[in-house]
Amino acid sequence: MQLSIVIPLLNEEQSLVELYNWIAKVMRSNSFSHEIIFIDDGSTDNSWRTIASLAKQDTAVKGIKFNRNYGKSQALHAGFLSASGEVVVTMDADLQDNPEEIPELYKLIKEEGYDLVSGWKKKRYDHVLTKNMPSKLFNWAARKTSGVKLHDFNCGLKAYRTEVIKNIDVYGEMHRYIPVLAKNNGYNKITEKEVQHQARKYGNTKFGAERFLYGFLDLLSIWFLSKFGRRPMHLFGSLGVLMFLFGFLTAGWIGFSKLWKMYHNEPNILVALNPWFYIALTVMIIGSQLFLAGFLGELILRTKREKDRYLINKTTPSL
């Protein structure tokens, strides 16, 4: 099968038939062997009934239904597990993504050898203050932090080699950072293609302003995991040693200063009355805890590596 089209959705019954007809037309005109996977992320309208009706009409249509709303990342993950095409295309169900872009995305993956092609909605039909400006700031921060040079991380229209989506784990709200997850797993042939963005035709957006806050927090998580996920001692150990040394030297200076003043009969105060003494102790304790956190992280990772190595050796036949 050439194409798997994965479409997560929430309460989009008004657009589903029109979207299906549009995709089917593009598939027929390009003679693609394909499947269309709709993931109903806990809709409370008639979305699932519409999907079931489409599946009866066309065997290429498949549906996955969640009992409640789990989020776009979980919906995409379920679709990725089910997808069997050589190229996997994701798109939103609100008719803002144009299916006419799919053949060119497919060509970039199959003929030009890219691992991932991300859509870039250069001209958007969203509200400037509530969506466009925050989106530009968000994308700028994502580029600077991740090193992936894309203009529109949050575009739902993307294409992947099937190997890519089978080897990344999309969870939480990480759907925005699939290109970063792919890069962290060694898939570096990533590009973008300018795509047409269309104004929403039915219903309202399912994402509020809080998505940018969550997005930045997820970005920090990915940055940390990609930089220190395999070597936590480099972060926690370094911070712990520096803090412990600062506290130790501060405590040493307090003690030396006390002895110096006593030796020269200068007025002095009890060490226990010096606020810097307690600051030094606190910093030393925190430094020790950070060092231990890094040490425990290294032990956990070493145990996991040894377990994985054991499993590989156990399952690899001798030649």
DSSP letters for 53-86? HHHHH-TTEEEEE-SS---HHHHHHHHHHH--SS
Please indicate, yes or no, whether residues 261 and 209 belong to a single structural domain of this protein. no
Please indicate, yes or no, whether residues 86 and 192 belong to a single structural domain of this protein. yes
What is the distance between the alpha carbons of residues 286 and 43, in angstroms, rounded to a whole number?
47
pTM metric for this prediction: 0.72
Q: What value does the mean pLDDT of the chain take?
A: 85
Q: Is 206 helix (H, G, I), strand (E, B) or coil?
A: coil
| pLDDT tops 80 at residue 128 | no
Domain edge (last residue) among 180, 207, 228: 228
Please indicate, yes or no, whether residues 212 and 118 belong to a single structural domain of this protein. yes
Please indicate, yes or no, whether residues 174 and 240 belong to a single structural domain of this protein. no
Kindly state the average pLDDT of the residues 177-187: 88
Of all helices (H) and strands (E), which one includes residue 5? Answer: strand 3-9
- Among 15-24, 72-81, 175-184, 218-227, the minimum mean pLDDT is found in 218-227
Q: Which whole-number Å values give the CA distances from 75 to 39, 46, 267, in the listed order?
A: 6, 18, 70
Residue showing tokens 């798997």: 4
Q: What percent of the chain has pLDDT over 90?
A: 49
Please indicate, yes or no, whether residues 150 and 222 belong to a single structural domain of this protein. yes
Instruction: Give me the domain span that covers residue 81.
Output: 3-228
Please indicate, yes or no, whether residues 238 and 177 belong to a single structural domain of this protein. no
Residues 54 and 21: beta-carbon distance below 8 Å: no
Please indicate, yes or no, whether residues 45 and 188 belong to a single structural domain of this protein. yes
Please report the pLDDT score of residue 208 as a whole number.
54
| pLDDT tops 50 at residue 315 | no
If one compares 77 and 143, the residue with the highest pLDDT of the two is 77
| pLDDT tops 50 at residue 204 | yes
Confidence at 304, pLDDT banded by 50, 70, 90: low
| pLDDT tops 70 at residue 122 | yes
Please report the pLDDT score of residue 232 as a whole number.
82
Please indicate, yes or no, whether residues 183 and 211 belong to a single structural domain of this protein. yes
| Kind of pairing between the strands at 116-120 and 34-40 | unpaired
Please indicate, yes or no, whether residues 154 and 272 belong to a single structural domain of this protein. no
Domain edge (last residue) among 211, 228, 245: 228
Please indicate, yes or no, whether residues 148 and 245 belong to a single structural domain of this protein. no
- Among 61-70, 215-224, 279-288, the minimum mean pLDDT is found in 215-224
Domain edge (last residue) among 204, 228, 252: 228
Confidence at 236, pLDDT banded by 50, 70, 90: confident
Residue (of 86, 113, 60) closest to 1 by Cα position: 86
**CATH code for the domain in which residue 20 is found:** 3.90.550.10
Please indicate, yes or no, whether residues 139 and 24 belong to a single structural domain of this protein. yes
Counted domains in the chain? 2
Please indicate, yes or no, whether residues 131 and 210 belong to a single structural domain of this protein. yes
